Amino acid sequence: MCGIVGAVAERNISNILLEGLKRLEYRGYDSAGLTVIRDGELHRERQVGKVQELVNAVEKNPSFFEGKIGIAHTRWATHGEPAQCNAHPHVSGKVAVVHNGIVENYAPLKEELIAKGYVFTSQTDTEVVAHLIADAYKQTDNLLQAVQQITPLLHGAFALGVLHVDHPEQLITVRLGSPLVIGIGIGENFIASDQLALLPVTNRFMYLEEGDIAVLTKDDITVYADGEKVARDIKELDAEHHNADKGEFKHYMLKEIYEQPDAVARTVEMGINQQGFKADFLARNEAILAHIKHIQILACGTSYHAGMVAKYWFEDLTRLPCSVEIASEFRYRNPVVVDNTLMICISQSGETADTLSALRDIQRRSKAGEINGFASLALCNVATSSLVRETDIFLPTLAGVEIGVASTKAFTTQLAALMLLVLKIGRVQSRISDDVFNEMIVELHKLSGQLYSSLSLDQAIAELSEKFEARKSAIFLGRGVQFPIALEGALKLKEISYIHAEGYAAGELKHGPLALVDKDMPIVVLAPKDSMLDKLKANMQEVHARHGELFVFAGENTQIESDERLHVIQVPDVNEILAPIVYSVPMQLLSYHVAVLRGTDVDQPRNLAKSVTVE
């Protein structure tokens, strides 16, 4: 999704802006631009394609873009195709604007502005904002007041960065539904959609609240809420957040796949030691966890698949009813939420628009007295995110910064943290016996080692991936708790290799997808040694009999024999309940290697964004 960077300083800021944009590339975008104020004029450059195109254009005439105040942007097209005229910043006279999010009512506003004589040079909703500010400024000569006046006219969720040539000391920013953080330097201040963009220049950040408007000068930051000055906390980030380099790896995704044994171990150790729960793990939340009678999980994308696994776990281990739903469906269907529901929102970023909106809708209904005993929990990788701030309980995933658009270590740490939560609720409500609990403690401690072992399949999977390179489609099959992993395996493959892939519960095979099976259709099967194995073998026979080519990721002692059209990849032995965590790794490696062979942009697949901040 779009990325914003802005700076006001005593030094030239154009390289800070460009470096910031590079650090936001992971969010997904199709064009980039920047504007600085220099010698009483706006100097702007915009390019379709990668940030490097913008860097090249600026480097042709670097002194032209030397300025002490500027804003920059990576655009992910919503209104208007990826084109130079639609790239940000957008300008109206002396005003320049960068914008993340959507202005839903831009069409009537645009008509009014056209009637007033404003000329539009793009198809974007953003240009409306630039003209509105320029128009309001005519009456006030005060940039802050102009921004404050027009903000209530805009419907939707958005963040803005605003400059005016006559105020070369002022950078104004608005946060209303899209992420925006202020970076605090010494004699310089910054804005960005993600603090990652600003790590080369500061580790001190101020997090705005929804509706805040802030004025930054090089020495000051003044934040306004509803027109009144307000104070917002400043936080210093620790060194762990700085670890965002690829290191020896060719891609962030591969690095992040390899970080999983450590990331999962960190997440597990957050909750338990060899004896059981750590004393402080969710200790303050026990009263809430004790009274809940139903679990409602909401999430999008890969995080939704983690939620699907958790449903099997919650119902199997605690016997508490658990529903899981895609946030964008849930929020628009007038759902029933029973009393004493714990809503678990799973999100790597904590900024996904649909997940946040679904949560807010239900929180409103709870406040209105429609639902009793409602509580919300954020399972999230970003402690400073909107989701964490707006929920009752925060359960972190300790994956560290995840850059690759295709989520890997965030997913497996979500699963590890979800298992901790299942156990915690199960124990608080005396729904899990000592024996089962102790067994799970032992198995959770083995996970990191098993993940290391699964990484040793890398070479074998790289070789296997050649058989997928030229395919047009693939089917992924799993049963029980492996069904969501089949969905996740298919999602990974389509996201980064652009091969069409579908995941199915293997029992559904003969209800449709079997019609697709022929010698050209690869079928990936997740086959750990578990209670579903015999049923799964029968499904594999159905494929084999129709000359489909099977790629079976099989547990030890599953007695599945390789032949010409059946390739077995042996996965390390693992506890049946936790197997989805370990089996995720070969799925990730398969899609990674196929994508590399096909020469796609592994870390920034086309049309996708890491953090989806519009609905």
Minimum gap (Å) between residue 591 Cβ and ligand G6P: 12
What is the contact mask toward ligand G6P in residues 146 to 185, using x (rule: CB under 6 A)? ----------------------------------------
Does the protein bind ligand G6P through residue 300 (CB under 6 A)?
Answer: yes
143: its two tokens = 């940039």
Does the protein bind ligand G6P through residue 357 (CB under 6 A)?
Answer: no
Does the protein bind ligand G6P through residue 602 (CB under 6 A)?
Answer: no
Does the protein bind ligand G6P through residue 376 (CB under 6 A)?
Answer: no
Does the protein bind ligand G6P through residue 413 (CB under 6 A)?
Answer: no
The number of beta carbons lying within 10 Å of the beta carbon of residue 31 is 26
Does the protein bind ligand G6P through residue 355 (CB under 6 A)?
Answer: yes
Which residues have a Cβ under 8 Å from the Cβ of 564 and sit 6 or more positions away? none
Does the protein bind ligand G6P through residue 263 (CB under 6 A)?
Answer: no
* Count of residues near ligand G6P by CB under 6 A: 15
Does the protein bind ligand G6P through residue 31 (CB under 6 A)?
Answer: no
Does the protein bind ligand G6P through residue 260 (CB under 6 A)?
Answer: no
Cα 443 from Cα 416, distance rounded (Å): 11
Nearer to ligand G6P, 288 or 378 (CB): 378
Closest CA to 93 of 45, 44, 48: 44
169 burial level (CB within 10 Å; 0-12, 13-18, 19+): middle
Which residues are part of the catalytic machinery? 2, 610
| Pair 527, 500: CB distance under 8 Å | no
Provide DSSP, 320-370: --EEEEEHHHHTTS-----TTEEEEEEESSS--HHHHHHHHHHHHHHHTTS
Cα 68 from Cα 65, distance rounded (Å): 10
Of 86, 126, 302, 412, the one binding ligand G6P (CB under 6 A) is: 302
Does the protein bind ligand G6P through residue 494 (CB under 6 A)?
Answer: no
- Give the β-pairing of 294-299 and 341-347: parallel
What is the contact mask toward ligand G6P in residues 312 to 351, using x (rule: CB under 6 A)? -----------------------------------xxx--
Terminal-residue alpha carbon distance, the chain: 11
| Pair 524, 477: CB distance under 8 Å | yes
Say which amino acid occupies 251: H
Residues linked to residue 192 through DSSP beta bridges, in sequence order: 5, 181
Of 124, 126, 170, 352, the one binding ligand G6P (CB under 6 A) is: 352
Does the protein bind ligand G6P through residue 608 (CB under 6 A)?
Answer: yes
Cα 326 from Cα 1, distance rounded (Å): 19
Minimum gap (Å) between residue 18 Cβ and ligand G6P: 24
How far, in whole angstroms, is CA 114 from its chain's centroid?
37
130: its two tokens = 């630039």
Minimum gap (Å) between residue 606 Cβ and ligand G6P: 12
Nearer to ligand G6P, 351 or 502 (CB): 351
Nearer to ligand G6P, 130 or 405 (CB): 405
Helix (H) or strand (E) holding 145: helix 143-150
Of 77, 496, 499, 612, the one binding ligand G6P (CB under 6 A) is: 612
Cα 307 from Cα 326, distance rounded (Å): 9
Segment interacting with ligand G6P (CB under 6 A) among 30-38, 113-121, 298-306, 553-561: 298-306
| Pair 455, 261: CB distance under 8 Å | yes
Segment interacting with ligand G6P (CB under 6 A) among 190-198, 294-302, 334-342, 389-397: 294-302
| Pair 555, 573: CB distance under 8 Å | yes
Where residue 439 falls (left for φ over 0; alpha for ψ -120 to 50; beta otherwise) is: alpha
Segment interacting with ligand G6P (CB under 6 A) among 259-267, 297-305, 513-521, 587-595: 297-305
Using CB atoms, what's the residue nearest to ligand G6P?
301
Helix (H) or strand (E) holding 464: helix 458-464
Nearer to ligand G6P, 76 or 258 (CB): 76
Minimum gap (Å) between residue 417 Cβ and ligand G6P: 13
Does the protein bind ligand G6P through residue 33 (CB under 6 A)?
Answer: no
| Pair 360, 368: CB distance under 8 Å | no
Minimum gap (Å) between residue 442 Cβ and ligand G6P: 30
Minimum gap (Å) between residue 403 Cβ and ligand G6P: 11
Of 157, 610, 613, 614, the one binding ligand G6P (CB under 6 A) is: 610
Q: Which residues bind ligand G6P (CB under 6 A)?
A: 300-303, 347-349, 352, 355, 405, 407, 608, 610-612
